Amino acid sequence: MRIGENIVASFHYTLKNDAGEVLDSSQGREPLAYLHGVGNIVEGLEKAMEGRGVGDKFSVSVAPEEGYGVHHEQLTQQVPREAFQGVEQLEVGMHFQASGEQGVMEVRVTAIEGDVVTVDGNHPLAGETLHFDIEVTDTRAATAEETAHGHVHGPGGHHHD
Ligand code: ZN
């Protein structure tokens, strides 16, 4: 069964950056399962999965525009430490909800210098070219419920209470 609309595909992946550093990998874990064609995975990878079958191994490089987006400088802000009152120990890497012009967004603390805290609303992988090594391990037809929900149920997928 080839990967296309309404197909659930499972795959192992290793994700590297331009420097060849491994950013994420499914090795040692269950393969990742996704519903094809609805944006469950980044656009460039989803395009590369189209038409593949079980046992296919391939590598694909995904530009930021089809990955986690380009890096928007205006999503980086410097704010005074007083803005974090109530936070006992402010550290680089912490995540906060911030409300701005585009509504509530998730920001990450990327630097703390004295009383100045830099927060970044970009995805941590924004601006990165993503290099994936992929092995397709399973394909099956999606259930009607999965198609309606727009995600995979069961192993490797979404679990409802
Ligand atoms: Zn569901």
pLDDT tens-digit readout, 106-135: 899 999 999 999 999 999 899 999 999 999
Spacing, Cα 61 to ligand 1 middle (Å): 30
Instruction: Report the run of H or E that residue 118 belongs to, with start and end.
Output: strand 116-120
Spacing, Cα 3 to ligand 1 middle (Å): 20
Domain-located, residue 159: no
Question: Rounded to the nearest 5°, which phi and psi values hold at 16?
Answer: -125, 160
Average pLDDT, the chain: 93
Place of tokens 């995805």: 123
Spacing, Cα 122 to ligand 1 middle (Å): 28
Domain-located, residue 161: no
Higher-pLDDT residue of 35 and 86 is 35
* pLDDT band at 150; cut points 50, 70, 90: very high
Q: Are residues 134 and 63 in the same domain?
A: yes
| pLDDT of amino acid 161 | 66
> Is residue 72 a contact partner of residue 126, using CB atoms and an 8 Å limit?
yes
Per the structure, the count of domains in the chain is 2
Q: Are residues 64 and 11 in the same domain?
A: yes
Question: Rounded to the nearest 5°, which phi and psi values hold at 135?
Answer: -135, 120
Domain-located, residue 155: no
Q: Is this structure's pTM higher than 0.85? A: no
Structure tokens at 27: 């090795």
Spacing, Cα 158 to ligand 1 middle (Å): 6
Spacing, Cα 153 to ligand 1 middle (Å): 6
| pLDDT of amino acid 98 | 80
Please state the rounded mean pLDDT for residues 81-95: 92
Rg of the chain over Cα atoms, rounded to whole angstroms, equals 19
Domain-located, residue 64: yes
Domain-located, residue 20: yes
Q: Residue 10 pLDDT > 70, yes or no? A: yes
Spacing, Cα 84 to ligand 1 middle (Å): 36
Spacing, Cα 85 to ligand 1 middle (Å): 38
Least confident of 9-13, 35-39, 121-125: 121-125
Q: Are residues 116 and 41 in the same domain?
A: no
Residue 85 sits in which domain range?
73-120
Spacing, Cα 30 to ligand 1 middle (Å): 19
Q: Are residues 78 and 63 in the same domain?
A: no
Q: Residue 48 pLDDT > 80, yes or no? A: yes
Q: Are residues 89 and 36 in the same domain?
A: no
Spacing, Cα 142 to ligand 1 middle (Å): 12
Q: Are residues 22 and 63 in the same domain?
A: yes
Spacing, Cα 160 to ligand 1 middle (Å): 6
| pLDDT of amino acid 67 | 96
Spacing, Cα 13 to ligand 1 middle (Å): 23
Place of tokens 């296309």: 4
Please state the rounded mean pLDDT for residues 94-111: 86
120 CA to centre of own chain: 16
Q: Are residues 14 and 45 in the same domain?
A: yes
